[in-house]
Amino acid sequence: MATNHHFKRPYQPLSSSSTSYFYIFVSIIGLTVLLLVFSHYITSYSTSPIRLELIKPIKQYVPVNNDNNGAESAACDYSEGKWFYDPTARPPRYDETCKEIYKGWNCIAGNRSGAAEIVKWRWQPNHCALTPFDPLRFLESHRDISIGFVGDSLNRNMFVSLFCSLRRVAGEIKKWRPAGADRGFTFLKYNFTIAYHRTNLLARYGRWSANAKGGVLESLGYKEGYRVDVDVPEGTWAEAPSFHNILIYNTGHWWWAPSKFDPVKSPMLFHEKGQPLVPPLSPETGLDVVLRRMISYVEEKARPGTVLFFRTQSPRHFEGGDWDQGGSCAHLQPLSLEEVEQFFSVENNGTNVEVRLVNEHLYEAIKGSAFRLLDVTRMSEFRADAHPSAAGGKKHVDCMHWCLPGITDTWNDLFIAHLSSIKVRY
Ligand SMILES: *[C@@H]1O[C@H](CO)[C@@H](O)[C@H](O)[C@H]1NC(C)=O
Ligand SMILES: *[C@@H]1O[C@H](CO)[C@@H](O)[C@H](O)[C@H]1NC(C)=O
Ligand SMILES: *[C@@H]1O[C@H](CO)[C@@H](O)[C@H](O)[C@H]1NC(C)=O
């Protein structure tokens, strides 16, 4: 596989117009620094910590936000807010003809009732505005940039949303598989790349069966299961951290999926350095170990200037049973606050409780790492109405993925708002 050691450019999405502002900005800073140094010189040597703090960060960091409300958006918590119904909402940023939409998520083509209403709800953060996505401006300011989505099908859902949003304005596109990705596209005019790397657990895993010659796990009575190598990234994304400029990770659903990783019939059997970990770890503990190992791996592999996000868990909305027990989600409107608590409070231990449990593990693992959290959980908890449900007539009702167009469009708004408030190191 081609590695890209020759490519060392950090994330610097400065458009030409913001570049001129940048020079004006730098001149002003330069002047200020000179004045400060000068006044410092002629007054005294009392080293004022405030003054030092003033000078140091400005020399090293430059905010790239070219929005007028830049300072405000940098401080904003986009994850807390409310959904407002806006009957006059602009038409969706893409429609059901975008070919990248997986059939089961295409709620308009699949005749999900109320599918066209989903995007008429607008997320309003409590203390600031979420700027509407401008695909052209986004592409202009992300020339020569590559974004990788790494994770399960919910990250693919978000990837498709971004792709379809950009597709309309982008001109010629090359379809390929950058750095082992499942799928990827380069928007040729902008040399802007976006890719999806499929991985369920982040760590590599595969079927395990007892060896006739015996072994540690065999002696503990294990016959079948899944071997999970906590220290080995799955091959689908192992090259991604050194390839992309911006990465968005997720994992979660598969750790609470007893229909695959049945605790008795096919448990996860964690290995490290090729050896089984004994005593065997619970999936929860395994998740903590995998998150730690994979986060270190990414931090080590990523080039300086790479922007790393971890997306929080996406909520499911099954009612009356899990996905394989006839559960459904026939809502036509977002849930009320009370309903959200009923669905998700950890005390209730409902069908969909894993969302907040997974997040507790994520928050812990991200602390002190190079990753930023992209918190989409709260806003999504309200949207029981935004899943494909029975659209397209599938065998099981889908209350886990999201209709497209739909709320992963808003996740991308959040992602882009975060990006534009990031201060880039020079
Ligand atoms: C959706 O409805 C249209 C018109 O009623 C019909 O032609 C089409 O087959 C339906 N699609 C699905 C997937 O049910
Ligand atoms: C296009 O962008 C990639 C990074 O995404 C970079 O490695 C490559 O050099 C760029 N190509 C050109 C022709 O600028
Ligand atoms: C939560 O519910 C599941 C089954 O739905 C059960 O196995 C588990 O023991 C429950 N946990 C608690 C803490 O009550």
Put residue 259 in one of left, alpha, beta given phi > 0 → left and psi -120 to 50 → alpha. Answer: alpha
Residue nearest atom 12 in ligand 1 by C-alpha distance: 110
pTM of the model as a whole? 0.83
Query: pLDDT for 271-299, tens place per residue?
Result: 999 999 999 999 999 999 999 999 999 99
Q: Give the mean pLDDT of 125-130.
A: 90
Centroid of ligand 2 to alpha carbon of 123 (angstroms): 35
- Ligand 2 contact via 144 beta carbon (within 6 Å): yes
Residue nearest atom 3 in ligand 1 by C-alpha distance: 111
Residue 50 has pLDDT above 60, yes or no: no
Query: pLDDT for 149-172, tens place per residue?
Result: 999 999 999 999 999 999 989 889
CATH for 298: 3.40.50.1110
Is 286 within the bounds of a domain?
A: no
The answer to whether 194 and 159 have CB atoms below 8 angstroms apart is yes
Count of structural domains within the chain:
1
Q: Tell me, what's the pLDDT at 396?
A: 85
Is 104 within the bounds of a domain?
A: yes
Residue nearest atom 11 in ligand 1 by C-alpha distance: 110
Is 274 within the bounds of a domain?
A: no
Centroid of ligand 3 to alpha carbon of 349 (angstroms): 6
Q: Tell me, what's the pLDDT at 32?
A: 52
- Ligand 1 contact via 110 beta carbon (within 6 Å): yes
Closest CA to 12 of 236, 312, 219, 306: 306
Is the Cα torsion angle 301, 302, 308, 314 positive or negative in sign?
negative
Q: Give the mean pLDDT of the chain.
A: 85
Domain that holds residue 105: 83-199+236-253+292-425
Is 335 within the bounds of a domain?
A: yes
Residue 34 has pLDDT above 80, yes or no: no
10 Å CB burial of residue 266 (0-12, 13-18, 19+) is middle
Contacts of 348 (CB under 8 A, 6+ apart): 341, 342
* CA 24/CA 35 separation, integer angstroms: 17
